Amino acid sequence: MADWLLDEEYASPSGVVRWACVGQGPPVVFLHGTPFSSYIWRHVTAALSDRYCCYVWDMAGYGASQKSEGQDVSLAAQQEVFTGLMRKWGLHEPAVVAHDFGGAVALRSAVFDGMRYGRLALLDTVALRPWGTGFFRLAREHPEAFASLPGHLHEALVRAHIATASHKGLGKEAADALVLPWLGEAGQRAFYRQAALNDERFTRELEDRLGDLRLPTLIAWGREDAWLPIDHAERLKACMPHARMHVLEGAGHLVQEDAPSRLCGLLEDFLHPA
């Protein structure tokens, strides 16, 4: 985790957001989901940074970005942050790679803010109802009760929750890095804040607009995704018939951790087709 540093700041309407740009070449922007951070892109950016300028950022209230009481970290707020970042960066139709609810954020910015992407890769993405694990839904319904748990019980819950995102099992270093931002009083409250503020109305608004997006699109999914089963990918493909779909066998929701080499190869082929 010490090697993964976001050295730039953006003062967004939802607080200070940390970001970085790694490598040189055509721009590729990466969006993480919940309850993760840009750390999940470390293998991918390491593989792509010799050919691409990789933009990574921690969403408001996540990872190294600001966490504060009363902070709006909803999908609509993250959309506003992302659109603001895109305008700050001044990128012309960059490729965008989005995972989990980062997909919903990228889609919302395209549909509602008119952001234009050259290519769009959606990995195990939140886009169609229903979504959210049982624990996520329970935390959304009772955020204050969970926020009041003793710290060691909260940590055990978060660790167990994040572990189920990987089919192969997370190594200790990766597990620790993904759990760390949610520890301590501020991190614990931030974890349940993001659960409380996100519900399916933010994707319901998108569902009838997905077919309007006419750009090269890749839908990639882990076959063993226990958070968003493979039928989500098939339904998303039906809504975006122009998209290409690829299933990563033996991978769970965190395809970046379960199949990093295969994912990198898939993205390289998609970003630079023959």
87/191 Cα distance (integer angstroms): 28
Q: Using one digit for the tens of pLDDT, what is the confidence trace for 5-63?
A: 999 999 999 999 999 999 999 999 999 999 999 999 999 999 999 999 999 999 999 99
Give the C-alpha separation, 111 to 173, whole Å: 37
Give pLDDT, residue 3: 80
pLDDT score, position 183: 98
- Long-range contacts of the stretch 207-212 (C-beta < 8 A, 24+): 207/127, 207/128, 207/129, 207/239, 209/111, 210/107, 210/127, 210/236, 210/239, 210/240, 211/239, 211/240, 211/241, 212/111
pLDDT higher than threshold 80 for residue 222: yes
pTM, to two decimals? 0.97
> What is the per-residue pLDDT across 168-214, written as a single tens digit (0 to 9) for each?
999 999 999 999 999 999 999 999 999 999 989 999 999 999 999 99
pLDDT per residue over 255-267, tens digit each?
Answer: 999 999 999 999 9
- CB neighbours (10 Å) of residue 10? 17
pLDDT above 70 coverage of the chain, percent: 99
What's the confidence (pLDDT) of residue 2?
55
Question: What is each CA distance from 9 to 42, 85, 133, 151, 254, in whole angstroms?
Answer: 19, 10, 31, 29, 26
Residue 115 makes CB contacts below 8 A (sequence gap 6+) with: 82, 83, 86, 106, 109
- Write the CA distances from 192 to 7, 59, 188, 214, 233, integer angstroms: 26, 15, 7, 36, 27
Paired tokens of 55:
């933009």
Average pLDDT, the chain: 97
Four-CA torsion 102, 105, 110, 115, nearest 10 degrees: -90
